[in-house]
A and B are shown apart, each in its own frame.
Chain A
Amino acid sequence: QLQLQESGPGRVRPSETLSLTCTVSSYSISGTSYYWGWIRQPPGQGLEWMGGISYTEDTRYNPSLKSRLTMSVDTSKNQFSLNLKSVTATDTAIYYCARHVAGGSSSFFDHWGQGILVTVSS
């Protein structure tokens, strides 16, 4: 059964860079047509799609975050990562990684990590 697990610091200082990694187990992220995405959820609020990356490193970003966001993939470690720079308190959220079934005929997130709470504070 495919599993995803987020990892990274639980706290980041304002103006610094938030870095998270998602490790995928029981499934190879190479050679598949899926995207691997990040979705975040501020405390008590709704979901926001941040972006996604394919194993070929094709990236898609939410325009509202594009200037601060970089995603990467490491197929040798079966991981993908997120870097969000110049964070502020509004970036405090639970960050989820998920498999994004995306292509010409579908768009949905079928497997999710458990989420990691990242707090931006000094």
Chain B
Amino acid sequence: QSALTQPASVSGSPGQSITISCTGTSSDVGGYNYVSWYQQQPDKAPKLIIYDVKNRPLGVSNRFSGSKSGNTASLTISGLQAEDQAEYYCSSYTSSGTLVVFGGGTKVTVL
């Protein structure tokens, strides 16, 4: 059981927008603006795509955007492309003792 809850899968057609949710508690997502998102292609290491809720590292497409409301963070992929098909993980700082928690991952399928 992961500390952060993500939907197992999300799908969309090319050009559409999709949103992945990441639900935690006031001890993690809700309490701090330290949510990050990672994209993992098959047999590859995770890649940082969003940090501190809504910031994009250099080189990451602006089609990826992050937001947060209460205990739920969200990753939106706009203009969905075939190359976006991957597993996506959210993560947050937590004051609960673990310090870092991850979501269970969401598989994005481009139809």
Chain A 38-72, CB-CB to B under 8 Å as 1, else 0, gives 01000000111100000000001011100000000
A96 touching B102 in the complex, CB below 8 Å, given contacts A46-B2, A110-B51: no
- Selected interface stretch from A11-19, A20-28, A75-83, A101-109: A101-109
Of B44, B51, B98, B104, the residue contacting A49 (CB under 8 A) is: B98
Which residues of chain A (84-122) have a CB below 8 Å from chain B?
A: 96, 100-102, 105-110, 112-115
Q: What size tier do the contact residues of chain A reach?
A: 20 to 34
CA distance A110 to B36 in the complex (A): 10
> A110 and B103: CB pair below 8 A?
no
> B46 and A46: CB pair below 8 A?
no
Chain B 88-109, CB-CB to A under 8 Å as 1, else 0, gives 0101110001111111110000
Q: Which residues of B contact A46 (CB under 8 A)?
A: 2, 89, 102-105
> A115 and B48: CB pair below 8 A?
no
A113 touching B89 in the complex, CB below 8 Å, given contacts A47-B102, A49-B99, A107-B34: no
Q: Contact residues of B with A, CB < 8 Å?
A: 2, 32, 34, 36, 38, 44-48, 51-52, 57, 89, 91-93, 97-105
